[in-house]
Amino acid sequence: MKIILLSFALALIGWSASAQVSLAPTTVFADANGFGTMYVSNGSEKAQEVNISFLFGYPGNDPEGNMVMVYDDSLRAAQSGLGDRIRTFPRSFILAPGEQQTVRFQIRPDRSKPAGTYFTRVKVFSSEQTAAVEDQSTEGISAQVSFKLEQIISAFYQYGETSTGLNFSKLEAGKKENSIVIYSEFAVLGNSPYLGSLQAIVRSADGKEVGRQEQTLALYYGGIRTYSIPIPEDLASGTYEVELTFQTSRADISTSDLVIAEPIIKKLTFSF
């Protein structure tokens, strides 16, 4: 007997959720008592082993303003992380084909902490259930392909009075290839991350819209962030205006879960 085991670590992006394990919601918000819920569904034809763990992390930026995940910030982990105060029930389980498991979150409030939003990352690791040795074929050569999927989502707990906002120390617009690039240096105000969306509209001098971009935002601390707005390849040189609207609303998160702030509208004029 010869068994060949092949393991593939698959990213969530580009991988069909129906092929393996899917999660809902993709962001967990605990209630005032520290309880939250997530549903784990098995869309595959094989039983899946599911394990849940936690790690502190948040989206930051590289020197060019591109978003990168930060997982090694011990100071902010102590300041804003949930640490070992968050648990799930169950934490490991077997999920049969087509079945759904309800996972309960429990957060133990720390009354010594100041008011604000505390958070962590929830890592859900799933793989096909390993067959027992006696159940494996003993004749010929067989190949067993085991797909492994790691999904990471966010979990939040709001304690006391919460607030958020943005302050920009620098905000510039310019053309780069077939895009208008917005460069921003910002600080997050209040005691909570800024979870919301950005709508950017580019208009010509006569008011005609020549570009538009909408995207979600998750800004946790101050930093640098760049945004690109596609424009037509043959756009003529001239003077243009870009209108930026930052607001604490997102299609994928209920308004009741968000820390609300007044919309911020910025207009920038640039030429190329």
Architecture of domain 2-159: Sandwich (2.60)
Tell me which residues of the chain have a pLDDT lower than 70. 1-19, 131-146
Q: Which two tokens stand for residue 126?
A: 């799933």
Contacts of 232 (CB under 8 A, 6+ apart): 178, 210, 211
Q: What's the pLDDT at 3?
A: 32
Backbone angles phi, psi at 159, to 5 degrees: -125, 125
Kind of pairing, strands 27-29 and 141-159?
A: parallel
CA-based nearest residue to 129, from 48, 43, 250, 27: 48
Per-residue DSSP letter, 123? E
Q: What's the pLDDT at 130?
A: 74
Q: Helix, strand, coil: what percent of the chain each, to 5? A: 5, 60, 35
Q: What's the pLDDT at 148?
A: 83
- Compute CA 112 distance to the chain's CA centroid, rounded to the nearest angstrom: 28
Q: What's the pLDDT at 141?
A: 53
Whether 92 and 129 have beta carbons less than 8 Å apart is answered as no
Q: What's the pLDDT at 140?
A: 53
Q: What's the pLDDT at 12?
A: 37
Q: Where along the chain do the CATH 2.60.40.2360 domains lie?
A: 164-271
pLDDT in tens, 28-72: 999 999 999 999 999 999 999 999 999 999 999 999 999 999 999
Q: Cα(124)–Cα(19) distance, rounded to whole angstroms?
A: 15
Q: Which two tokens stand for residue 91?
A: 């934490």
Whether 181 and 41 have beta carbons less than 8 Å apart is answered as no
DSSP 3-state of 216: strand
Does the domain spanning 164-271 belong to CATH 1.10.1040.10? no
Q: What's the pLDDT at 1?
A: 34
DSSP-derived secondary structure for 10-72: E-STTS-GGGSEEEESSEEE--TTSEEEEEEEE-SSS-EEEEEEEE--EEEE-TTS-EEEE--
Measured over the CA atoms of residue 232, residue 251, residue 50 and residue 118, the dihedral's sign is: positive
For 1, counting Cβ atoms within 10 Å of its Cβ (0-12 exposed, 13-18 middle, 19+ buried), the class is exposed
Kind of pairing, strands 141-159 and 194-204?
A: unpaired
Q: What's the pLDDT at 139?
A: 56
Q: Where along the chain do the CATH 2.60.40.10 domains lie?
A: 2-159
pTM, full prediction: 0.86
Q: What's the pLDDT at 112?
A: 92
For 14, counting Cβ atoms within 10 Å of its Cβ (0-12 exposed, 13-18 middle, 19+ buried), the class is exposed
Backbone angles phi, psi at 84, to 5 degrees: -90, 15
